[in-house]
Amino acid sequence: MAGQANSRDVVQRPDGSWAVTKPGAQRALFTADTQAQAVERAGELLRRDGGGELRVHGTDGKVRDQRTIAPGNDPVPPKG
């Protein structure tokens, strides 16, 4: 996986629940009843894992929001 950014996707499952997944993974890392819960958890997972890209998919499956999540425990925070 060298060279690939750390990323997570929030997608709706066929049963209407929302899942946090890694690209190419077969299983969800986390499932939730609402998209907001899944987005919150995906952000927590990315912060824990050193930051990365979070892609939120709409009910149509298309990416409707993409954000960069900063690392949660940055030993050298930016100045200013």
In a domain, 21, yes or no: yes
Give the number of domains in the chain: 1
In a domain, 25, yes or no: yes
Say whether 32 sits in a helix, a strand or coil. strand
Residues 6+ apart with CB under 8 A from 67: 53, 54, 56
In a domain, 74, yes or no: no
Q: What is the pLDDT of residues 25-69, one digit of tens each?
A: 889 999 999 999 999 999 999 999 999 999 999 999 999 999 999
In a domain, 75, yes or no: no
Q: What is the pLDDT of residues 1-22, one digit of tens each?
A: 444 569 999 999 999 999 999 9
In a domain, 79, yes or no: no
Domain extent, residue 21, equals 7-69
The residue type found at 16 is: G
In a domain, 2, yes or no: no
